[in-house]
A = this chain, B = another copy of it.
């Protein structure tokens, strides 16, 4: 399993440390496809996905940090009990 990313804390506030969302509106990330997570993060960073909260949270993240976060969440296993909750 990947080492815990240094920047995980801010992400975890909404997506959880293991990628199970903590708040309405935030998606689960646990076990999501790595290529999809990486591309989504780049799109939030660049504004192609125009979500001000995500753009502010990500800031001018490096590709390396971005990759580390994508690998972390992709490597997590979804926990069944909260699956499908709104």
Which residues does A use to contact B, with CB under 8 Å? 21, 24-28, 30-36, 39-40, 48-50, 74-78, 80, 83-86
Contact = CB atoms under 8 A, between A and B. Distances in A.
By secondary structure, the A interface counts as: loop
Given A27-B32, A75-B84, 8 more contacts: A21-B36, A24-B35, A25-B36, A25-B39, A26-B33, A34-B86, A74-B84, A78-B83
Copies of this chain assembled into the complex: 2
A82 to B, nearest CB: 9
28 contacts: A21-B33, A24-B35, A25-B33, A25-B35, A25-B36, A25-B39, A26-B36, A27-B33, A27-B36, A28-B31, A28-B32, A28-B36, A30-B83, A31-B78, A31-B80, A32-B84, A33-B84, A34-B84, A34-B85, A34-B86, A48-B50, A49-B49, A74-B83, A74-B84, A75-B84, A76-B84, A77-B80, A77-B83
